[in-house]
């Protein structure tokens, strides 16, 4: 038998060519080129791109909250540069109190986060590469208190302004005409605001005072009248107030410009008043009101800030004294400055009738963010010891002043248009609401009050809230008790309770507040979904909660001295939608993508 032995198949060995290695290397490089940018984008999905700085502070690779903390810590120790305005070789310093300048660091961090995230793909990638290779620095914008700055510039302008003066004949000599000079305060304010945007550089800032020259009148005034020539030869007219130790002068050239015709009794009163009103800005000092604290042990007030009288130039009376001095040829006149007495005098607290609790108001803020609690504490402290005279009108905005970082407030959630957003002073309305409740419970007349745009959970059952927005939206009430009212804020941070007590003399009245009556109920609109690049795909975060719209009416009944009166408080709240931030378009529910019906 013949056996068949199978033949072993010879293995075919493939040979690698240089082309194979080139293809493999190309594939690896392509994989790296795809993986690295993808990883770069994923790693920076919730971070600021590497290479970005804010005012020189590196924030690349940080989340927005971490970047804000780093920038705040780093820039808090950077002193503000010196700022001044200049004219004709003279400089006037502008202090921090004059501008209340504060860098908007939150806005700068948000702009830093947007670097490399705007435009098409090529534009975004180019911005990221520029940041990585060359660096991108974001200069913070600077917020200033424009009203305070204008007030300071008005005072400086009073030293520069001068009236236009025609040429004048005096004896054989001719006094040349003098151009008038005015200061454009608005333009100077704008120029300073623009210059302050360079505050991060640290360089001294000098801004020219914006002045306007006024051509002098063309006519030549003949002053060759004996009385006027004699007066000019004697020198300036001095105006003094010995009580306050003040002295000003009208120089001979100004006196000539003020005197019309051939009689010293004819004075250009409008020009004289303009000069005196300029002086008044230097002379006038407001009175300082006393602040008090109610001592429960003695049931009486004690002084925590003494009062101080102010002063004011009586322009009408001073015009009269100048006229008299010119007519009589005297070298001096009285500068009539009158004292301004404080409405709340610390020397007369025994006469104020502050002896008992009149009413209280309460609200709750347990669960508020740290920033919101800080704003509540800062705002409440503004009213510590405030005293309201009889018949006076209380203004919340007058006492809380500017809600800004320079005034101690922080960014927190506020109502902004039709959204809840991060803004300056979130939580201040907790304070206005609580003061409103104290005044409402006391039966005091409410002069001005607005409810919030939608129902806010912090304030409990809707209808008893008071919204403010400085300086336009205010809360005001009138003190009709016949005695002084002492305002006392009390904060229990542990339990999240804010109380405002009103002390004075309780009038013979009984106040009954009815239950809120709701009507015109409107459902909340469908939720709104917005893509937030800081969230990863699949993530969702709620930032607004739905609230129904409604009208709420509350009736207050006041019985006083046998007479009954009622008033109705009406609050209209708009419906409010829930708002969600999501990581991608795919995370938006299909129902929310439908085009709404017009």
pLDDT tens digits, one per residue of 564-590: 999 999 999 988 888 888 888 888 888
Q: How many CB atoms lie within 10 A of CB 522?
A: 13
Angle between helices 370-381 and 428-441 (to 10 degrees): 50
> Both tokens of residue 150?
């204008």
* pLDDT reading at 64 higher than 90: no
Where residue 79 falls among pLDDT bands split at 50, 70, 90?
Answer: low
Q: How many CB atoms lie within 10 A of CB 528?
A: 16
Q: What would the mean pLDDT of 552-558 be, rounded to a whole number?
A: 96
CA dihedral of 51, 54, 55, 58, whole degrees rounded to 10: -50
Residue whose C-alpha is closest to residue 129's, from 30, 43, 33, 40? 40
* pLDDT reading at 534 higher than 60: yes
Sorted by where each begins, the domain ranges of the chain are 147-288+312-337, 352-593
pTM above 0.75, yes or no: no
SS3 state of residue 177? coil
Residue 376 CA to residue 383 CA, distance in Å, equals 12
Say which residue the tokens 């959204």 belong to. Answer: 419
* pLDDT reading at 362 higher than 60: yes
Quick one: how far is CA 9 from the chain centroid?
91
SS3 state of residue 524? coil
Summarize pLDDT for 382-425 with one digit per residue, the tens: 899 999 999 999 999 988 876 655 445 554 444 444 444 433 34
Higher local confidence (pLDDT), 421 or 243: 243
Largest Cα–Cα separation, the chain:
165
Summarize pLDDT for 316-359 with one digit per residue, the tens: 888 888 888 887 788 888 999 888 889 998 888 888 999 999 99
pLDDT score at 415: 42
Where residue 220 falls among pLDDT bands split at 50, 70, 90?
Answer: low
pLDDT score at 117: 85
Residue whose C-alpha is closest to residue 356's, from 244, 175, 570, 507? 507
pLDDT score at 68: 85
Alpha helix (H) residue ranges in 115-250:
121-133, 146-160, 185-196, 226-234
Q: What percent of the chain has pLDDT over 90?
A: 26
The helix (H) or strand (E) run that includes residue 84 is strand 83-87
- Per-residue HEC secondary structure of 319-332 comes to HHHHHHHHHHCCCE
Contact between 216 and 230 under an 8 Å Cβ cutoff? The reply is no
pLDDT score at 67: 85
* pLDDT reading at 104 higher than 90: no
Where residue 70 falls among pLDDT bands split at 50, 70, 90?
Answer: confident
Fill in the DSSP letter of residue 576: B
pLDDT score at 101: 67
Residue 346 CA to residue 342 CA, distance in Å, equals 9
What are the beta bridge partners of residue 238? 249, 332
* pLDDT reading at 110 higher than 80: yes
Quick one: how far is CA 261 from the chain centroid?
51
Contact between 546 and 495 under an 8 Å Cβ cutoff? The reply is no
């Amino acid at each position: 038998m013949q056996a068949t032995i199978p033949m072993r198949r010879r293995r075919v060995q493939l040979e690698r060519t240089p082309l194979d290695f080139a293809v493999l290397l190309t594939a690896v490089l392509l994989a790296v080129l795809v993986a690295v940018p993808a990883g770069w984008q994923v790693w920076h999905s919730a971070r600021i791109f590497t290479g970005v700085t804010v005012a020189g502070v590196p924030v690349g690779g940080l989340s927005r909250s971490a970047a804000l903390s780093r920038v705040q810590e780093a820039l808090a120790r950077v002193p503000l540069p010196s700022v001044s305005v200049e004219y004709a070789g003279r400089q006037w310093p502008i202090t921090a109190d004059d501008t209340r300048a504060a860098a908007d660091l939150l806005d700068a961090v948000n702009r830093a986060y947007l670097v490399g995230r705007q435009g098409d793909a090529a534009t975004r990638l180019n911005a990221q590469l520029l940041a990585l290779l060359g660096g991108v620095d974001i200069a913070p914008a600077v917020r200033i208190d424009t009203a305070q700055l204008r007030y300071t510039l008005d005072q400086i302008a009073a030293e520069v302004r001068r009236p236009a003066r025609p040429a004048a004949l005096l004896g054989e000599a001719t006094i040349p005409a003098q151009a008038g000079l005015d200061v454009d305060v608005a333009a100077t304010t704008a120029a300073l605001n623009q210059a302050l945007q360079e505050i991060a550089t640290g360089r001294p800032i000098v801004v020219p005072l914006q002045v306007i020259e006024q051509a002098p009148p063309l006519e030549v005034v003949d002053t060759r009248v004996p009385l006027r020539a004699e007066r000019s030869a004697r020198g300036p007219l001095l105006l003094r107030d010995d009580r306050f130790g003040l002295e000003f002068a009208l120089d001979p050239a100004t006196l000539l410009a003020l005197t019309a015709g051939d009689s010293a009794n004819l004075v250009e009163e409008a020009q004289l008043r303009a000069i005196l009103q300029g002086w008044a800005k230097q002379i006038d000092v407001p009175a300082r009101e006393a602040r008090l604290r109610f001592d429960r042990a003695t049931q009486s007030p004690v002084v925590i800030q003494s009062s101080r009288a102010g002063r004011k130039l009586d322009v009408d009376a001073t015009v009269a004294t100048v006229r008299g001095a010119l007519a009589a040829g005297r070298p001096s006149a009285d500068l009539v400055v009158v004292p301004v007495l404080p409405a709340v005098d610390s020397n007369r607290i025994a006469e104020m009738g502050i002896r008992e609790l009149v009413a209280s108001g309460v609200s709750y803020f347990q669960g508020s963010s740290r920033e919101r609690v800080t704003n509540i504490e800062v705002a409440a402290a503004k009213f510590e010891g405030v005293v309201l005279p009889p018949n006076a009108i209380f203004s919340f905005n007058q006492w809380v002043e500017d809600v800004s970082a320079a005034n101690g407030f922080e960014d927190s959630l506020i109502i902004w248009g039709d959204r809840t957003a991060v803004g300056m002073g979130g939580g201040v309305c907790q304070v206005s609401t609580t003061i409103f409740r104290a005044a409402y419970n006391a039966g005091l007349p409410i002069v001005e009050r607005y409810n919030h745009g939608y129902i806010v959970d912090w304030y409990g059952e809707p209808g008893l809230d008071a919204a403010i927005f400085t300086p336009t939206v205010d809360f005001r009430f009138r003190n009709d008790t016949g005695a002084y009212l002492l305002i006392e804020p009390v904060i229990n941070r542990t339990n999240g309770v804010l109380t405002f007590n009103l002390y004075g003399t309780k009038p013979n009245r009984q106040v009954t507040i009815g239950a809120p009556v709701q009507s015109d109920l409107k459902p909340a609109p469908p939720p709104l979904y917005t893509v937030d690049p800081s969230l990863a795909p699949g993530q969702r975060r709620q930032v607004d909660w739905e609230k129904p719209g409604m009208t709420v009416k509350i009736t207050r009944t006041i019985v006083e001295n046998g007479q009954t009166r009622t008033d109705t408080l009406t609050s209209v709240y708009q419906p409010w939608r829930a708002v969600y931030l999501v990581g991608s378009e795919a995370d938006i529910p299909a129902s929310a993508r439908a085009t709404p019906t017009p």
